[in-house]
Chain A
Amino acid sequence: SQTIHQWPATLVQPVGSPLSLECTVEGTSNPNLYWYRQAAGRGLQLLFYSVGIGQISSEVPQNLSASRPQDRQFILSSKKLLLSDSGFYLCAWRASGSQETQYFGPGTRLLVL
Chain B
Amino acid sequence: AQSVTQLGSHVSVSEGALVLLRCNYSSSVPPYLFWYVQYPNQGLQLLLKYTSAATLVKGINGFEAEFKKSETSFHLTKPSAHMSDAAEYFCAVRGTGFQKLVFGTGTRLLVSP
Contacts and interface: CB of A to CB of B under 8 A. Distances in A.
Given A43-B106, A94-B99, A100 B44 contact: no
Contacts of B98: 100
Nearest to B49: A101
Contacts of B49: 100-101
Size category of the A interface is 20 to 34
A43 B99 contact: no
A63 B25 CA distance: 31
A74 interface: no
Interface of A: 6, 32, 34, 42-44, 46, 49, 51, 88, 90, 92, 94, 100-107, 109
Size category of the B interface is 20 to 34
Given A100-B32, A100-B49, A101-B34, A43 B44 contact: no
Contact of A32 (B41, B99, B103): B99
Contacts of B46: 101, 103
B41 A51 contact: no
Nearest to B98: A100
A25 B57 CA distance: 28
Contact of A104 (B41, B45, B99, B105): B45
A107 B42 contact: yes
Contact of A51 (B32, B51, B99, B101): B99
A92 B20 CA distance: 27
Given A44-B90, A101-B46, A49 B41 contact: no
Interface string B31-46: 0101010000111111
B51 A104 contact: no
Given A43-B105, A43-B106, A44-B90, A104 B43 contact: yes
